[in-house]
Structure 1
Amino acid sequence: MKAIQLFAALLIGGAFTAATAAAPAPADSAKAEKIYKATCMACHGAGVLGAPKFGDKAAWGPRVAKGKPALYTNALNGFKMMPPRGGNPALKDDEVKAVVDYMIAKSN
């Protein structure tokens, strides 16, 4: 019986850890915002060359509907007029993805 209780505790603890790890930490959000302002805002702030404007739910909706993997791929590799990594080749993959997540969250 104790083995079952231990297993259940591990499962519950693991699920809690996975759920809390999926939520971005405030520090990550602040970093994503800083990167957005330094790299992405030049185009996404004003909608330059068809870039969806920051916070524009109607513009982001169809893009979000395609799924985050598609948005990540476009942001990492470039899409239409957008250069790879928003023109900042120094950004790491996880930083680009964090900014995509940040922009999506602000458009809901």
Structure 2
Amino acid sequence: MKAFMTGLACLGVVAVVSPVQAMSADEIVAKHCSACHEAGLGGAPKLTDKDAWAPRIAKGVDAMAQTVMSGKGAMPPKGTCGSCSDEEIKAAIEAMIAPLK
């Protein structure tokens, strides 16, 4: 195996790794949030339920992001988006609550 790898190195074979493409807030919501929040699974507030979201919105995006980061009830930490940054989580929250304001 070592001889094979050495042979590849001599041939100038280089592995190309493409960078991970960041998802938009809407893509994150569609991929990681909508399934539970559209149906209200596990007690998740539905995306169309202004009354359920009102107290959460009143606390602010930072408070909601903290809840998402640590998980709550049936929602795992980061709401199933383990690769999402804090900024991406906040952007997804903003996208989710924009129609409710």
1:45 equivalenced with 2:38 (yes/no) = yes
Higher gyration radius (CA): 2
Which residue does 2:63 correspond to in 1? 70
1:60 equivalenced with 2:53 (yes/no) = yes
SS of the residue aligned with 1:55? coil
TM-score normalized by the length of structure 2? 0.71
> C-alpha offsets along residues 14-73 of structure 1, whole Å, 9 cap, x if unaligned?
xxxxxxxxxxxxxxxx91111101110110111101101113211100111222221010
Which residue does 1:81 correspond to in 2? 74
Does the 8 A contact of 1:72 with 1:97 survive in 2?
Answer: yes
- Hey, what's the Cα distance between the residues in 1 that align with 2:24 and 2:82? 17
- Hey, what's the Cα distance between the residues in 2 that align with 1:56 and 1:69? 20
Does the 8 A contact of 2:65 with 2:93 survive in 1?
Answer: yes
Which structure features the higher share of helix residues? 1
- Hey, what's the Cα distance between the residues in 2 that align with 1:78 and 1:56? 20
- Hey, what's the Cα distance between the residues in 2 that align with 1:92 and 1:39? 13
- Hey, what's the Cα distance between the residues in 2 that align with 1:92 and 1:69? 13
- 4+ residue runs of structure 1 moved beyond 4 angstroms? none
- Identity rate, percent: 43
**Runs of at least 5 residues in structure 2 that lack an aligned partner in the other structure:** 1-22
**Residue from 32, 46, 50 that aligns with 2:25:** 32
- Hey, what's the Cα distance between the residues in 2 that align with 1:32 and 1:55? 18
Does the 8 A contact of 2:42 with 2:73 survive in 1?
Answer: no
TM-score normalized by the length of structure 1? 0.67
> What is the root-mean-square deviation of aligned Cα atoms in Å?
1.5
- Hey, what's the Cα distance between the residues in 2 that align with 1:102 and 1:70? 15
**Runs of at least 5 residues in structure 1 that lack an aligned partner in the other structure:** 1-29
